[in-house]
Structure 1
């Protein structure tokens, strides 16, 4: 199930992104840390991640991220670009540079750790 279908896109302001507009959309995020949530409709843990993110929407919004989402099977070019090993995957980017990734859902605490690690790289 896509973030649009779960209400997650509205709760977090997640916007769809694809290989055709990827670089432009990431640059439009400006100084914000961008996170690309790559999901698959057949992925059980993607649904778990979506439900937990939605349940903690206020806390997730407080992280100040620019959220994007892409379906892994709908855009194989994007999946290949990031050497996708599984879903869900979260890629952290800033001004066009990939700062990190989190493959699998490690809960909200895992997301916060990944965000902090990416933000550390933003400063270097």
Structure 2
């Protein structure tokens, strides 16, 4: 069995891979209005549900100023412990290095998009 039932996800929904040791500098670089960090793991059925949903309707999450980052927490356990994860998938939203919130599990594409819009349009 492969690592995922969605093996080409990152080719079709581009996200920048990031390690825990690189995250702070990347979040502080100021190139994005918002950063979304997707923490996932191989052989994670709930992660694959989120990936399939993202691939099915990527247009619902296209936003100017939004940068997508990802990390397989099974390959970078420091990332998992850094955020005190109790389950995956988990998404974190950041503005210029400041963590704004966490989305756990997969709430559905419309709820996810609403959270992103609220954060993008909230005062800095």
- TM-score class normalised by the smaller sequence: 0.7 to 0.9
The structure with the largest alpha-carbon Rg is 2
More helix as a share of residues: 1
Distance in structure 2 (CA, Å) of the matches to 1:69 and 1:37: 5
Tell me if structure 1 keeps the 8 A contact 2:32–2:67. Answer: no
Q: Deviations over 1:58-109 (max 9, x none)?
A: 2222465200100111111111111112100000011110001100011101
What is the DSSP-based 3-state SS (H/G/I as helix, E as strand, rest coil) of the residue aligned with 2:38? Answer: strand
1:100 pairs with 2:104: no
TM-score, scaled to structure 1? 0.84
CA spacing shift, 1:55–1:111, aligned 2, 3 Å: same
Tell me if structure 2 keeps the 8 A contact 1:12–1:61. Answer: no
Tell me if structure 2 keeps the 8 A contact 1:38–1:70. Answer: yes
Q: Which runs of 5+ in 1 are unaligned?
A: none
Partner residue in 2 for 1:60? 61
Tell me if structure 2 keeps the 8 A contact 1:100–1:118. Answer: no
Distance in structure 1 (CA, Å) of the matches to 2:64 and 2:108: 14
TM-score, scaled to structure 2? 0.84
Partner residue in 1 for 2:123? 123
Quote the offset at 1:26 in angstroms. Answer: 1.6
Partner residue in 2 for 1:82? 83
Tell me if structure 2 keeps the 8 A contact 1:34–1:67. Answer: yes
What is the DSSP-based 3-state SS (H/G/I as helix, E as strand, rest coil) of the residue aligned with 1:26? Answer: helix
